[in-house]
Amino acid sequence: MSDASVLSDNVQEPSPRSSVPVPLQVAPPPGALLSKILLGLLAGAAVLALLTVLVLWQKVDGMQEQLARQSADAMAQSMEARTLARQAQETVRDTAARLALNETRVAEVALQRSQLEELMQSLSRSRDENLVIDIEAALRLALQQAQVTGNVQPLLAALKTGELRIARAAQPRLAPLQRAMQRDADRLRASASADAGESLQKLDDLVRMVDDLPPLNAVATRGAGLNPWQAEPVPADAAWWERALLVVRNEVRSLLRVGRIERPEAVLLSPDQTFFLRENLKLQLLNARLALLSRQVDTARNELATVSASLNRYFDPASRRVQAAATLLQQLQSTIKTAEPPRIDETLAALTTAAAGR
């Protein structure tokens, strides 16, 4: 049985010896005291735990509030960071656009600067460079004129003027150019052909002489000293029969002539053919004149050779006019030379070197 049941039995059954109830002082058992102590400890522990829980709850609540505030702050900072990032992106885009615009402007400024530098260099050319440019322009113009007209005198004058200008400039680096101009001038003087004006004048004289040249079949116009069938003079003191015989013989000689025909095509020319022969000679001489003007020397020489052959074949070589025309043709053929057009390659090369600044 337990201690509680024993205690209840002792209380319920009073002792018979005493009639007056005397309060009993029962000593608590050791187990009940221990239980009370344990209960007190448990109650204290429970209160302490409750207090601890309350404290911890308050702390957790405070931590939650703090976390909520921190979360709200973090959210606000995040929103602010996003806004700042967006602004930063816009700023970067604006900066990139401005940078591209600045680069474009820098490129334009660099281009303008290079153009200005070139303009300044062109404006600040030295006197020597301007001199070289002027001399080159004058020489090229004179060279073109000489190649067209065949007259080298303007080219020689331009070379002489250039030499004088270089000598007045007194620049050592232009000395090779001056020497090249001197050599080209000497070569032009050595290889210069006769004046084209004189050749043209001789051709004009030949054209005028063609109409007066006697053909080979014009017997009546041949030279008097070379005719073996010339009439003999009749002596005044001769007998009448001698005079009559001489007259008859002279008449027979005038009607009949015997000789050797070496060029039958010339002797058998009709008057119409002689007219066209003269016109053909004129055309050939005019072709030679045109070839000289156009600087076609080979064509002019061929035309003059054809004219000379026709002159020796169809016209009387005993006539002084034919002889004068043949002499004039020979002079023209010896005058016209198959020379190349005037060239000043050495001077042009020296001008290129001087213009390059070397």
Interval 233-281: pLDDT, tens:
666 676 777 777 877 777 777 665 555 555 666 666 677 788 888 899 9
- pLDDT for 35-72, tens place per residue? 888 888 888 888 888 888 888 888 888 888 888 888 88
Judged by average pLDDT, the poorest of 7-11, 105-109, 158-162, 259-263 is: 7-11
% of residues, the chain, pLDDT over 90? 9
Residue 6 has pLDDT above 50, yes or no: no
Q: Is 313 in contact with 263 (CB distance < 8 Å)?
A: yes
Angle at 322 between CA 337 and CA 268, to 5 degrees: 115
CA distance 166 to 161: 9
CA distance 168 to 134: 14
Residue 170 has pLDDT above 70, yes or no: yes
Q: Give me the torsion for CA of 218, 223, 226, 229, rounded to 10°.
A: 60
Please give the model's pTM, rounded to 2 decimal places.
Answer: 0.42
Q: What is the pLDDT of residue 283?
A: 92
Average pLDDT for residues 11-24, to the nearest whole number?
46
- pLDDT for 89-143, tens place per residue? 999 999 999 999 999 999 999 999 988 888 776 665 567 778 888 888 888 888 8
Q: What is the pLDDT of residue 135?
A: 87
What does the mean pLDDT of the chain come to? 77
